[in-house]
Structure 1
Amino acid sequence: MYNPSSFAIKDLPDMQQQILATRLAILVTHGEQGLQASHIPVLLDAEQGPNGTLYGHFAKANPQWKELQNGAEAMVIFAGADAYVSPGFYPSKAEHGKVVPTWNYVAVHAYGVAEVFTDAHRLLNLVSALTDRHEASRAQPWKVADAPADYIDGMLKAIVGFALPIQRLEGKRKLSQNRNAADIAGVREGLATSPDAQDQALAHLMR
């Protein structure tokens, strides 16, 4: 991605934190079928490999997993909060008027070549870990073991898992760093007073 140095995230733990904070990632490949993208939840093992390893699964009916099996490089996009930045937020608008709209956002891109697997025990561990993560905040978390074993066995036959060691990471945190202090403060205040939750999240990051 286009990533000027003033916006680049250099710290590995910071990028891994954004991965962990993203509930639904976008996995993109380019192979014999052209560009393909799937929206999938993934798990990060931050300690496995120099940049961590991503785990997830596809429906077996989704042909994209075959691109991974054939060795296609994957890009996994982890999008954080984003917000429209109005020129009206800038004090410099009143001074010279030379301002235009833009967007502030946070994003991390992970790249690598994945291993595909269909082993039932490994898939069960994966879907159990994904379920436990996303059910953790519920008062009565649902467990994979709550469903009949034969039903789960059938569901596991309908998915394909993958492990993707992250070979390269790019992180971008565009928070008006290219503006002067007054304009940055104006953007922060404008977003903080917005009723939109993502705007408020961006304002918090800008603090």
Structure 2
Amino acid sequence: MYTPPHFREDDIALLHETIRRIAFGTLVTLGPDGLVASHVPMLLDAEKGTHGTLTGHLAKANIQTKTEASNIEALAIFQGPDAYITPNWYATKQEHGKVVPTWNYVAVHAYGQISFFEDTERLRDQVSRLTDKHEAENAEPWAVNDAPENFVQSHLKGIIGFEIPITRIDGKWKLSQNRPAEDKKGVMSGLDSRDGADAAISSVTRERLQS
């Protein structure tokens, strides 16, 4: 990922927090038939490995699980809030007109070697933790144990778990940091004017530009 210095984010705690908040990522690997990508929820264990470890699971039928090669490099992409930025928001448009549209966004890329596992208890633990995390805000959280045991076991047989110890992690917070002060104000005001449609990117933009 191209990350100019003014957009680069190296704070590991913030990168981990962002992965956890986004939760749903794109898993990319290079197999014998070329690049393959899957869109899956993942868990992060920040204490395991140099930069943390990602875990998740895929359907056994997924071609991404079929490669027999070892030391497969994987890339997990977590895309945060984003928004189109119109040049009309820039004060410099009125001064010289030398402005163009852009797209602002937050993204985290995590790299590492992926390994797969089929151990039933390990899969059950991974699926249970993933479920508990995303059910936590519900008034009556659903748990894996709420389903009949034979039903749970049949579903566990249809998936394969994966683990990625992160060897490199890149963060990009492209939020108009490279613009003049008055243009930054225009971007913040413009995002705020979109009736909540860009509330997430507006919040993170204001936090970054005013820090």
TM category (shorter chain) comes to: over 0.9
CA RMSD between the two structures: 1.2
Tell me which residue corresponds to 1:189. Answer: 189
Question: 1:69 and 1:18, CA in 2 relative to 1: closer, same or farther beyond 3 A?
Answer: farther
- 1:32-56 CA deviation, whole Å, 9 max, x = no partner? 1101100000000011011100010
Does the 8 Å CA contact 2:108/2:172 hold for their aligned counterparts?
Answer: yes
What is the alpha-carbon distance in structure 1 between the residues aligned to residue 19 and residue 166 of structure 2? Answer: 12
| TM-superposed deviation, 1:131 | 0.4
The two structures have a TM-score, normalised by structure 1, of 0.96
What is the alpha-carbon distance in structure 2 between the residues aligned to residue 128 and residue 40 of structure 1? Answer: 15
What is the alpha-carbon distance in structure 2 between the residues aligned to residue 69 and residue 191 of structure 1? Answer: 47
Stretches of structure 1 lacking an aligned partner (at least 5 in a row)? none
What is the alpha-carbon distance in structure 2 between the residues aligned to residue 82 and residue 67 of structure 1? Answer: 34
Which amino acid is the alignment partner of residue 149 of structure 2?
A: A
Does the 8 Å CA contact 1:29/1:74 hold for their aligned counterparts?
Answer: yes
What is the alpha-carbon distance in structure 2 between the residues aligned to residue 90 and residue 148 of structure 1? Answer: 59
| TM-superposed deviation, 1:115 | 1.9
Does the 8 Å CA contact 2:29/2:37 hold for their aligned counterparts?
Answer: yes
Question: 1:69 and 1:138, CA in 2 relative to 1: closer, same or farther beyond 3 A?
Answer: farther
Does residue 116 of structure 1 match 2:112?
Answer: no
Tell me which residue corresponds to 1:79. Answer: 79
Which amino acid is the alignment partner of residue 140 of structure 2?
A: Q
Tell me which residue corresponds to 1:2. Answer: 2
| TM-superposed deviation, 1:196 | 4.4
Identity of aligned residues (%): 52
| TM-superposed deviation, 1:67 | 3.6
Stretches of structure 2 lacking an aligned partner (at least 5 in a row)? 207-211
- SS where residue 114 of structure 1 aligns? strand
In the TM superposition, 1:34-183 aligns within 5 A as 34-67=34-67, 70-183=70-183
Which amino acid is the alignment partner of residue 101 of structure 1?
A: P
How many residue pairs match? The answer is 206
| TM-superposed deviation, 1:135 | 0.6
Q: Which runs of 4+ in 1 moved over 2 A?
A: 66-71
The two structures have a TM-score, normalised by structure 2, of 0.95
